[in-house]
Amino acid sequence: MLNFILRSVGLGLATAALLLLAVPSLRTNLLPENITKPISDLTSLQLSFNEAVRKAAPAVVNIYSRKYTEEDRSKLLTQGLGSGVIVSEKGYIITNYHVVAQADQIIVALQDGRVAAAQLVGKDRRTDIAILRVEGSNLPVIPLNQDYKAKVGDVVLAIGNPYNLGQTTTFGIISATGRSSISADGRQAFIQTDAAINEGNSGGALVNTQGELVGINTASFQQATDLETYGISFAIPYSLADLIMEKIIADGRVIRGYIGVDGQDITSVTARLLGNEHLGGIVVLGVDPNGPAAEAGFQVQDIILKIDGQKINGRHSVMEIVTELRPGTKVDVLVLRKGEELNLPVTIAEDTRE
């Protein structure tokens, strides 16, 4: 029976081969049209990100900060240069804190030729974010996608006004995410990219190939460390910039929760010894003697597992959860102390640190 089946299959394949040789038109019908084209035709294909730039670039503005001279308080001199991103039809612009920190007047220039004085809504030194607002109709707004998650290898474009040359777009990929090493206190995680970011690019847009805002350009590694480097630049994730903007619009400043502990992630080996259910916890290394945690009874070597019933996932997770809590809120913090789980009630205070 098996030999009969094999002979039948072989006969069928041989017949098909003869038909393909005898009737050439059958061969082209079996293959997709683009595969049968000569290789020389492929040279007409062109890779371009023009559509992404066309969508995003009009919403990226030039920012000039002006300051009164000490000799004559009636004279304003331009003393700072940067970029910004229009993210709302109401005229809200996200830029860097350091672009406008010392400004007495802020001028915004749109790509369509309009120029306007901007109102400083608020600023946050810790995240290097400032929010401006301009009046105007039919303002261009950059495409936004709350569901986009930055991933290593994603192609990105940096749009800004380097050295006041005029709007410029550079190209690269996301090299890393969650970079906190250049942050002064390790409290902020940046997107790392090899797209060039130079003086004047600060506050500009980092966008994906759809023209959607990925981050706010903030610094090159050379600017942050004084080392001679190439291809290492950083941007503030859009999700963080948007959160800071909403806080500033609501309160005029960023109000953060504070409990007064410092800690480090527990290692995978320690987690296995304690039980894998404790993976993600942090070991308390220090307690502010004047903070809410000390009043609640926290001790060095406590392992924080949950905050207000929410399982934590490392040091940054703790900071994110706590800073989002309003001062005065009472929460239970689950800690592991000498093998025993304890619930410590703590009242959130306001973080007044810069």
Residues identified as active-site: 98, 128, 202
For residue 29, the tally of other CB atoms under 10 A from its CB is 9
Q: Which two tokens stand for residue 153?
A: 């290898």
Cα four-point dihedral sign 10, 13, 15, 21: negative
Torsion, CA 202, CA 203, CA 206, CA 212, rounded to 10: -170
> For the chain, what is the radius of gyration of the CA atoms?
28
Indicate the SS3 state at residue 183.
coil
- Alpha-carbon gap, residue 139 to 135, rounded angstroms: 9
Other C-beta atoms closer than 10 Å to the C-beta of 249 total: 15
Q: How far apart are CA 38 and CA 71, in angstroms?
A: 73
- How far apart are the C-alpha atoms of 136 and 197, rounded to whole Å? 29
Q: Got the DSSP string for 21-83? A: HH-THHHHHHS-HHHHS-GGGGGG-----HHHHHHHGGGEEEEEEEEE-SS-TT-EEEEEEEE
First and final C-alpha spacing in the chain: 84
Let me know: does 274 contact 301? Beta carbons within 8 Å: no
